[in-house]
Amino acid sequence: MFPPFEDDPDQCSFCGKPFVATGSEKWRAPSGELIAIPTSDIAYTLSDTSKGEVYICEECYKKSDFKDLTSDDIAEIHYQFGLEYLASKQFSESVDALHQSLRLKVSPDTLASIARSYDELGATKLAIEFYQQALAIDPKHFMSRENLKLVLERL
């Protein structure tokens, strides 16, 4: 049975493990307002799924088969963990999670994120290829266009 989805960001929707804020990151909201996003020593993400929002800890991410979710839902969970790993400078883990997402659903955002992870790993040729793939889907994809320009300037 699929675990209940909680609207409580303080715990994993799957195992109930609490997320204790150990710090915060500053982000700017679309309105321009500066907001503090809590961070935790436990890696976790929030994914919007067909069953609602799900908070998932890294342990559940690594061991769950997500059989009660759609392939789009699972792609989103892999994508969110790819971003989490990228933000925490775990670039190899980011590449792995993002490739899992791409196997289920191709999007310019996922392609650009994997390109960024490859760039951070020093795999410049792969980074360029993935940025170009994102731009082939969406020629106006800002992140891909701008980051590709930066990568090419370094060559």
CATH architecture of 95-155: Alpha Horseshoe (1.25)
Q: Which residues of 140-151 are buried (b: 16+ CB within 10 A; e: fewer)?
A: ebebbeebbeeb
**Which pLDDT belongs to residue 2?**
40
Query: Domain map of the chain by residue range?
Result: 1-69, 95-155
Stretches in the chain below the pLDDT threshold 70: 1-9
**Alpha-carbon gap, residue 115 to 121, rounded angstroms:** 10
Distance CA 116, CA 155 (A): 16
pLDDT for res 6: 44
Looking at residue 22, its pLDDT comes to 81
pLDDT, residue 5, reads 43
